[in-house]
Structure formats: structure tokens, C-alpha cells
Amino acid sequence: MSPDRSRTAYHASAAGLARRALGALQGVGGTAMVAEHVEGAPDPGAALAAIRILGADTFAPAVLAGAAFHPEDAEAVALAFSLLPPPQGAPVSPPTGPEEPWLLAWRDWGTATLLAVLTGSDTTELAQSRPAGPSADEDWARWSVTMGQLSTLALPGLDGPVHDLARRSPLGLARGATRATLRRDYPTAARIARWLAWLHADGVSLPLDPAPLVEHISLMAAGDRLALDTAIARHLIGA
């Protein structure tokens, strides 16, 4: 399979897993959604890659809606890390180093940390070692997009330097979400709005009410991943 076809298969599988997570978040669907996704996939490798792509959002039904987290799901997530291991060594944070490895390391940290929290284990190596923290960026437009790429960290049970930076910069996030919405870049807007919803849940004063923004995004856009992002934001807001 060519790299482009592989990438397409991975993201198609990730959309399917997002659909399962959304169903579980809404109280419908299977009981061990991650394991079922892998076992029923025509391409198990793509299904395991989908777990890495969806990241910590795989656990959204458990941490937001109290859905049961099954041992079979934990085994599926652990298998994804085992068969598709992250690169060795801690990536240098941008702008000194490239952005993509650093983003991936943070997303993997979030996944591994929630896996450790939900399974009561502290032995996950990735959960014990955090990547380098983000640097402040005076360009709020660029910085807010970067934060949107880390939106899977905007979940209960996760906290760290990325979250501290979000707490210090609600205005930049509000501007970023508004800008993306006006540009009709709804996937980016939804990801940044998740941080605003997380800050709302964290008790941080915001320059705008995230609830109408999230509802507008959900009405104007479509797609399984975006639907999951807006559903997570609603749960964080308490809607």
C-alpha cells in the first residue's frame, strides 16, 4: 500500500473510531468500543493507527460521561503503542525543533497518562515522561492553531505545561476560535473551542461564552471527528 493510501486508510479508520467514541459519549453503542473497532476492522493495522490518531479522546466517554472503561479497550490501546511505538527520545520543542514530532509526543503523553489513570497503573513509561513544555508565542493566531492541534489534551485528568499556558492565554484562544469560525475553518475552530470549554470547566474567566460558539460550529460543519470535538466541548461546558 502506498503512503498516501495508508494515510487515507488510517484517517478513515480514525473517523470510525471517533464515531464509536461519540456514540459511547451519548450513551449508545458497544461496551468495549476500542476493542470492537480493532476486532471488526478489515485492516487491523489501520485500526490500531486510528487509536494513536484519536489519542486521549478514546477515553472521553469514560472521563466525561462515566462510561465503563473495559480491560479489552486498555489492551487495545496498549497494543497500539506496542506495535506502533513512538520515536525514541524527547523531541525538542518548537521553534528550536520541528513542530510535528513535538505535537505527537504531547498527544501520546495524554493518551498514555489517561490510560494509566483509568487502569490504576503508574508503570506506563510515556505517562511518566512529559515532553518539553510549549514556548510563549506573541503571534496569537499561530499559537492558537498549535493549541488546537493539542486539543486532545483538553480533557479532565490531564494537566501540565500546555494547560498552564492555556490558563494564561484565554484571550488568544478566544481570538483564535473566532478567527477560525469567521474563516469557516470549522475543524480548527472546534479544536480551539475545546480549550475554551476546558478553561470554563477549570473556572477560568473567559472573554466570550463558549456555549453559543460551540453550538454554531456544530450546526455549520459536519464529520465524525468534528462531531466528537463539539460533543466533548458541550460536556466540558455542562450543556
Least confident of 4-13, 52-61, 127-136, 152-161: 127-136
How many structural domains compose the chain?
A: 2
Are residues 209 and 163 located together in one domain of the fold? Answer: yes
Are residues 118 and 165 located together in one domain of the fold? Answer: no
User: How far, in Å, CA of 213 to CA of 90, rounded?
Assistant: 36
Domain that holds residue 96: 1-132
Packing angle between helix 71-83 and helix 99-119, nearest 10 degrees?
150
Q: 106, 132, 158 — which closes off a domain?
A: 132
Least confident of 1-15, 18-32, 35-49, 176-190: 1-15
| 233 vs 138, more confident | 233
Q: Considering the chain, what percentage of its residues have pLDDT values greater than 70?
A: 92
CB atoms within 10 A of CB 38: 25
Q: 79, 97, 132 — which closes off a domain?
A: 132
Are residues 127 and 145 located together in one domain of the fold? Answer: no
Write the pLDDT tens digit of every residue in 218-230. Answer: 998 789 999 999 9
Position 2 pLDDT exceeds 50 = no
- pLDDT number for residue 155: 97
Q: 98, 132, 166 — which closes off a domain?
A: 132
User: How far, in Å, CA of 169 to CA of 188, rounded?
Assistant: 17
Are residues 227 and 126 located together in one domain of the fold? Answer: no
Taking alpha carbons only, the member of 168, 171, 167, 165 closest to residue 135 is 165
> Model pTM?
0.92
- pLDDT number for residue 130: 79
